[in-house]
A and B are shown apart, each in its own frame.
Chain A
Amino acid sequence: MSSSSLLARPLDGLAALGRAVLDLCRTAGAVTLFALNAVSHAVRPPFHPRLLLRAFLEVGYFSLPVVGLTAVFTGMVLALQSFSGFSRFGAEGAVANVVVLSITRELGPVLAGLMVSGRIGAAFAAEIGTMRVTDQIDALTTLSTDPIKYLVTPRLLAATLAMPLLVLVADVLGVMGGYLIATLKLGFSGPTYLKATLDFVQMTDVVSGLVKAAVFGFVVALMGTWCGYNSRGGAQGVGGATTKAVVASSILILALDYVLTEAFFSR
């Protein structure tokens, strides 16, 4: 084998890595411009309140069952797990504190974000992607309607506003799940458990979770609309856009959760 071909292999690898990094930067830039454009439409008339209301109901109201069930079971599992762990060194009394802190700070917003990502991010991508491949988005332009203003802005606003409300409900249901297990199965006194919960939780815990929820809602709607808006190539393209939207928003939720936790709680 010649020395030039030996050199070429690692250089090919580097070139591929470089291309991937450039693609990532290009996509990040394009998504940012897309988001800025959509957000700018939120303050420029004409407005579409009916579309905003419809998207709000879709994200908030119709996601309640799945987010609620997730929160209840998560609270129940947390109570069981923390009890079995803490009982080893006689700290069973901390179960209520662990449940409320975990739910409000982390699990409420993150699990609600992931559930909404699977439900709403996928639906946004599929709906807008289908509109793209059937020329409906071009038709909007020919009907003197900006597709970003009509399709993207109401969904972004709705998800950003609805997610904190969903997470507030999830927080309550998650704590209730823990309460049920603690009182019915683990022998805790109901009033004592609730008092421990309310004494321990602070406003910062709840507010940080709600801020996270708003950010996650924005990210889910952004990735759903972006992937749908840029889908190409018929049914397969729409399917790919839907998968991409869910995967990208799930990863972003987990990454941003770390960033926001650092911002709120690191000393």
Chain B
Amino acid sequence: MNEALSAPLDAPVAEPAVPKIRLRGLRKAFGPKKVLDGVDLDVMPGSSMVILGGSGSGKSVTIKCILGLITPDSGTIEIDGRNVLAMSAREREAVLDRTGMLFQNGALFDSLPVWENVCFKLLAQKRLDRRQARDKAAQALADVGLDASVGDLSPAELSGGMQKRVALARAIASEPEIIFFDEPTTGLDPIMGAVIDGLIVDCVKRLGATAVTITHDMASARRIGDHAAMIHQGRIVWTGPAATLGQTGNPIVDQFARGEREGPIKMELRR
């Protein structure tokens, strides 16, 4: 026997790390339209994964499936090695409890002031009383560069950039283990986009969280992501380091990253 290939019996064996999120064969169709057609993806603990793809490619549906907002037709979704689709409602709630989400348009509750939005989960679960929640909201707002006085405003009184920051504060206030970001820079000017990206990176690092971001903003993808995955026609067609975007050697990814009209991605245009 080759000694180099045989380990001594008492030597520690390095166990392969369990992905924080593992998707296998995820499929979802809406009527005749197949949106997800067998998505396979691993997101390792503490890493920041960016999912890229054109409009309607299934990015949002993928994270909505993970969050339990949409039920996939088939496939498995594992979080910490456990298939959430096979869990009871209560177990699934416990898993959801460890996640945070920043929606594309913020999705702030316009009937509540900003501070109640930020601490909504903590108040709903009675983890804090209202006075403590106010202090916590002020701290979370400071973390995203907003003054505590913003807490008394209504979401309708905020600019788009401020709404995104408040939504980010809400996503991180409960200190989740996994945070999802849906198009965090859409609708923002480039400078505000960079500010939001910087805040996301800081917050995720500080919490030691696993992050999954969906975007088609390449600058944002490079700033936020450690790793990137490209979804095309309902499947993941490439995964790799986010820093290599644009020179991956994969024609689909490279066309998307460079925003070229010619290439394997054909836009459906009606004349």
Contacts and interface: CB of A to CB of B under 8 A. Distances in A.
Interface of A: 46, 127, 131, 134-136, 138-139, 141-145, 150
Given A135-B107, A141-B69, A142-B67, A46 B99 contact: no
B93 A144 contact: yes
17 contacts: A46-B124, A127-B111, A135-B104, A138-B67, A138-B107, A139-B107, A139-B109, A141-B67, A141-B68, A141-B69, A142-B96, A142-B99, A142-B100, A143-B124, A144-B97, A144-B124, A145-B120
A135 B96 contact: no
B126 to A, nearest CB: 7
Contacts of B26: none
A255 B17 CA distance: 63
A141 B99 CA distance: 11
A134 B107 contact: yes
Interface of A is mostly: helix
Contacts of B108: 136, 139
Nearest to A136: B107
Contacts of B64: 138
Contacts of B107: 134-136, 138-139
A2 to B, nearest CB: 32
B103 A139 contact: yes
Interface of B is mostly: loop
Given A135-B103, A136-B107, A143 B126 contact: no
Given A46-B126, A138-B69, A143 B105 contact: no
A38 B67 CA distance: 22
Interface residues of B, number: 24
Contacts of A131: 109
Nearest to A133: B105
A135 B70 CA distance: 13
Given A134-B105, A136-B107, A138-B103, A145 B67 contact: no
Interface pairs A-B: 3 shortest CB-CB: A135-B107, A139-B107, A142-B101
A71 to B, nearest CB: 30
B223 interface: no
Nearest to A143: B121
B7 to A, nearest CB: 44
Interface string B103-131: 11101111100000000110011100000
Q: Which of A136, A139, A144, A150 has the most CB of B within 10 A?
A: A139
A143 B68 contact: no
Given A138-B67, A144-B121, A144-B124, 8 more contacts: A138-B69, A139-B108, A142-B69, A142-B99, A142-B101, A144-B96, A144-B125, A145-B124
Contacts of A144: 93, 96-97, 121, 124-125
Nearest to A141: B69
Nearest to A127: B111
